[in-house]
Amino acid sequence: MSQGYFNGDILSACDRCHSRKVKCDRQQRCANCADAGVECQRVRPGRSRKRPLPGVLTPEESILQLERPILTPSSQRGGGQESEVEVRTPARQRRGINSHDRLEKSPEGHVRSAGIDCSNHHAMRARSVIQLELVDSRHTNQKQQVVLKAALQLVNQIGGCEEKQPDENVGNETTVITAEDPATVPDAPPAELLLMLLHPNAGPQWPDHISNKTLEKMAAALMKGDFQGQVFHQYCVCIYVKAILHFYQLSRQINSSVVKEQLVRSRNTYITATLRSIQQFNILASLTLQSIQALVSSALLMQQLGDVKQCWTLNSYAAQQIVALGYDRIRNIPARSQAEEEIHSAVYWCYYLDRTVSALLVRPTALPNLNVSPTELIASMQQSAYDPLIRILLDLAQIQGHLLAFSSDLKRADSRYILDTCNMIEERMHRISQDLRTSRESLPEMLKYDWVAADFCYYAIYVEILRTRLRCTFTPLVHRECLVYARRSLEAFRFLQQHRAELGFDDPYPSFLTWTLLLYPLSPFFVVFCNIIGTLDKDDHELIYQITTGLSQFKRDSHLEKVLSLLISLERLCESLFHEDGEALPEMQRPVEALPSIQSLTNAGDTDLGQDVSGSDTGASADWLMWQLFNSEVPLGWLNPDFPIL
């Protein structure tokens, strides 16, 4: 490796790594030698420091070249060598960055936007996931390199969307769901619906920000016809969305296909009515708690429909109104009145959507940091079986908010600061993991599936944290841990697919997709894809195949169809690696695994850290491609109906 790109105070690659042509982390005792249990030496003769040509940069240098087009030499460090957390770039010296700035000094509400909103939320990350076992370019033969280049080209193509024109519509197809018979769409919520919602007997209900007392007040007002205009439409939205969530829970307890089909028709009718009322909102109207509640309900509906862009927009309006009315400055914990409880509920639901969707879209957050933990805002009087899960989702939303704010400064931050912050975030994730484990112990069988969905979300976020750490300092242990968590996330998702009959609506696709696959990063898929290409792991390939095959039944929704097309394209690229002739096996020849149980999935400890497959030495170019794909996540660009997928 050329050493001219770095300053002389950085150690050269050790003799063992240099002779084996593998990446060395340049520590006093590098990670590779430590893993092998051998002495780490640097006694070979030096060579001239010639700046490498752009075409032969090492993976590390290539990434630095992309992220830092202008670099200045770092000043000489005094003292001995740093530990694993020492930065390998001179970022510490640039632009006067204080290496001791802490996470709390980088407010979540000031994340830098990319400037061009191409709706490429997954592909904005799609240029960033692999090193170690894949960093060892000896294990990448020519055939793997061809597949890798094709996969990277696909990801880059998706990421390179064009800038939206000022008059171009940024909405999407999910906002035009209509009832089968438009004449059946009611002008106001029917009295029978109101009475059903006031006294539901369908088991545990998914909580929201509208309490039973508030629902009763809204129902009474609509029955009497007391309100028109803005207040009327705000009440309609809140009630319709509550009805849609109620139907979702009800469908999980009904076995009759006839009744379920009627629930789907009723749900679509109420979605149409809700969208009609949302279109009547007036942003110039007076700000009230009711307007905030209606906006949060609208955002929840868009999230249920998989329309994360509209969800972010509507929730941002709610956040701005919360700030304008001073509701973000929490004064009393617990709430001392019914009005305060209503405010707290609206605030923490807005917070959850704000942090979660902003992290997905890589957009600035709209709601400022709260002066209390959002989990403290959950009312203690209205107990729900889902309260522990809501607390976990709020904790994960806090993590995503911190990671979003933190990631925006990665290019300028000091290495030790990055790793210290990752350590702090991982400690919080471990506490959340304990809460996930203990809170599911006494759950009814139906609710346990929701906790498995939370597992998918948890591990997907953990993969993002570990990828952040790997971009700073690469170590074999962290890389293997990242792969393990990616597998766990996908295994949880596969379990949900295999038990979708217990998870409610299946039309146009299973409802659980809207708060798993469509709401959280797809990084686990890319990590596993890279491992398939780099190690030819058949189990990983089978895992991806089963997921894509399960999703292929649901192509009616534009969001899901684009996601599925991308995953299938990558899976087909990997398929040829397992056959000499490059031909894919017929789909019907694939074995189908026995369905695991909730207990087996919960107790399973994934210790498989991948396998090495020998191959020919293909040089640093393959290494660079692996790193690019490892750090990839597909963009929102796939939501464009005109985007060509393989």
Whole-number mean pLDDT of the chain? 73
Cα four-point dihedral sign 476, 478, 481, 485 = negative
Mean pLDDT across 527-538:
87
Query: What is the rounded distance in angstroms from the CA atom of residue 525 to the CA atom of residue 563?
Result: 11
**Contact residues for 79 (Cβ-Cβ < 8 A; gap 6+):** none
End-to-end CA distance of the chain: 37
By C-alpha distance, which of 6, 46, 11 is closest to 31?
11
The runs of H, that is alpha helices, within 373-414 are 387-407
Residue 571, pLDDT > 70, answer yes
Torsion of CA 272, 278, 279, 285, to 10 degrees: 160
Which range among 77-91, 209-223, 230-244, 284-298 shows the weakest confidence by mean pLDDT? 77-91
Q: How confident is the model at residue 1 (pLDDT cuts 50, 70, 90)?
A: very low
Query: What is the rounded distance in angstroms from the CA atom of residue 360 to the CA atom of residue 121?
Result: 6
Which range among 243-252, 286-295, 608-617 shows the weakest confidence by mean pLDDT? 608-617
Beta carbons of 419 and 475 less than 8 angstroms apart: no
Query: What is the rounded distance in angstroms from the CA atom of residue 646 to the CA atom of residue 640?
Result: 15
Integer Rg of the chain from CA: 26
Q: How confident is the model at residue 43 (pLDDT cuts 50, 70, 90)?
A: confident
What pLDDT is attached to residue 628? 57
Q: How confident is the model at residue 620 (pLDDT cuts 50, 70, 90)?
A: very low
Beta carbons of 174 and 559 less than 8 angstroms apart: yes
pLDDT tens profile 201-254: 667 788 889 988 899 999 999 998 877 889 999 999 999 999 998 888 888 888
| DSSP secondary structure letters along 561-627 | HHHHHHHHHHHHHHHGGG-TT-PPPPGGGS--PPPPPHHHHHH----------------HHHHHHHH
Neighbours of 76 (CB within 10 A): 8
Q: How confident is the model at residue 4 (pLDDT cuts 50, 70, 90)?
A: very low
Task: Indicate the residue type of 636.
Answer: L
Burial of 564 per CB tally in 10 Å (0-12, 13-18, 19+):
buried
Query: What is the rounded distance in angstroms from the CA atom of residue 302 to the CA atom of residue 241?
Result: 10
pLDDT tens profile 299-331: 999 999 888 999 999 999 999 999 999 999 988
What pLDDT is attached to residue 240? 94
Residue 388, pLDDT > 80, answer yes
Q: How confident is the model at residue 118 (pLDDT cuts 50, 70, 90)?
A: very low
- Quote the percentage of the chain above a pLDDT of 90: 30
Provide the residue count of the chain.
646
- For residue 254, the SS3 value is coil
